[in-house]
Amino acid sequence: MNIVDRFISYTKVNTTTNRENGAAGIMPSSEGQRVLALQLVEELKALGVEDIKIRDTAIVTATLPSNLDYEVPTVAFFGHLDTSAEQTNDTKAQILPYKGGDLCLNKELEIFLRQSEFPELENYIGDDIIVTDGTSLLGADDKAAIASIMDMLQYFKQHPEVKHGTVKIGFVPDEEQGLRGAKAFDVTEFGADFAYTLDCCGIGELVYENWNAGDVEITFIGTSAHPMSAKGKLKNSLLMAHKFIAMLPGGEAPEYTEGREGYYWVKQLAGNSARTVLKMDVRDFTEAGYAHRMAFLKQLSEQCEALWGEGTVVCKQADRYANVFNSLQGENRYPIDIAIDAYKANGITPRPIPMRGGYDGAALSQKGLPCPNIFTGAHNFHSIYEYLPVKSLYAASDVLKSVVKITAERFAPGAKA
């Protein structure tokens, strides 16, 4: 099966993540993820790879054994089964030739992929592009990754003369809900030395920096009173929360920041005059900056409590994931170098970018499995305008093949470091 057919077949399985089930601790959160996992198990068996396992959580793992007569580090590749909850409709993927200008996704509904809105389309003139009919996500995030990984495995099984070390693969659920699958993944049992996720953007982009991320929940406890006798008695927790928000640093919110600029995100506010809960996301690329932001919110909460009275402000903080760059320093940098060499081996200019978000590699890296992030070739994740140039999909698979080959060469006896 060629890589495009594989990808299209995966898009036909609705694997939309289910936030309610996820919040209830159910994994996978949607049954479609299990359906796709079982399909992948059968495809892996047909390819003839070994040690295929599927867990109750729908986590799938498998191994391509080494055909070398010497030891090299074991490389792994990961993709996630779920698609984002922004759209829940079934995907109707189509392949359209792109000749420039606007691309019509749905004539009846007058839905167009407009070049004026997405100028990077100009890079794909003359290419075939995989899109939807404009009524759903495409699901290249992250089914393009799965297709690329499966295509890579097929290549090595069909070409036993090509030397390679041990290759591990992992498909995990519910990445779109705080990296739940990766957080549940048993890195020790898996046995890889380094890994890559494919959960990024256009051809050439390479991620080995992302947020240090935390969750903050601040509860404001007021005092209720009937308005006819409220003077001097009523403490309105809603107003307390608004005053707290007003004291956050100006301009340090998602809508005002870019690149490596961190932020405080006021994400949810709910309550009444007696009790109000504020939920926030905290993000920063540096460990020191992240620690400063979390400490600032804690200190501000304590100061407000001192102003409004004991027990009026309760601040709870939790770390969500760390910057993968923290795990790719010194002797652990080699996964970055191998990826860069693999890009260049395929005539692709590496374009490292800081990811203003999280991906499974962040959780895996924290568990001791260094894990940069390779492109899928797709654009406009989480949008009905998501699209995937066919040549970029092939390029992603070719980069994986090169990673495996370069690993075998780099660690061969007598090879130069």
226 annotated as ligand-binding: no
199 annotated as ligand-binding: yes
Q: Which of 140, 137, 129 is nearest to 92 (CA)?
A: 137
Torsion of CA 26, 27, 32, 37, to 10 degrees: -160
- Read off the DSSP letter of residue 134: S
Rounded Cα–Cα distance for residues 404 and 160 (Å): 13
Active site residue 82: yes
Active site residue 175: yes
- Residue 399 backbone zone (phi > 0: left; psi -120 to 50: alpha; other: beta): alpha
Residues in the chain: 417
Residue of 142, 174, 175, 205 marked active site = 175
Chain-centre distance for alpha carbon 77: 14
174 annotated as ligand-binding: no
Instruction: Supply angle C-alpha 138, 130, 117, rounded to 5.
Output: 80
Instruction: Supply angle C-alpha 137, 138, 139, rounded to 5.
Output: 95
What interhelical angle do 31-47 and 3-11 show, nearest 10?
160
Which H helix or E strand runs over 155? Answer: helix 140-158
The 3-state DSSP class for residue 36 equals helix
80 annotated as ligand-binding: yes
Known binding positions for Zn(2+) = 80, 141, 176, 199, 382
Known binding positions = 80, 141, 176, 199, 382
Residues noted as catalytic: 82, 175
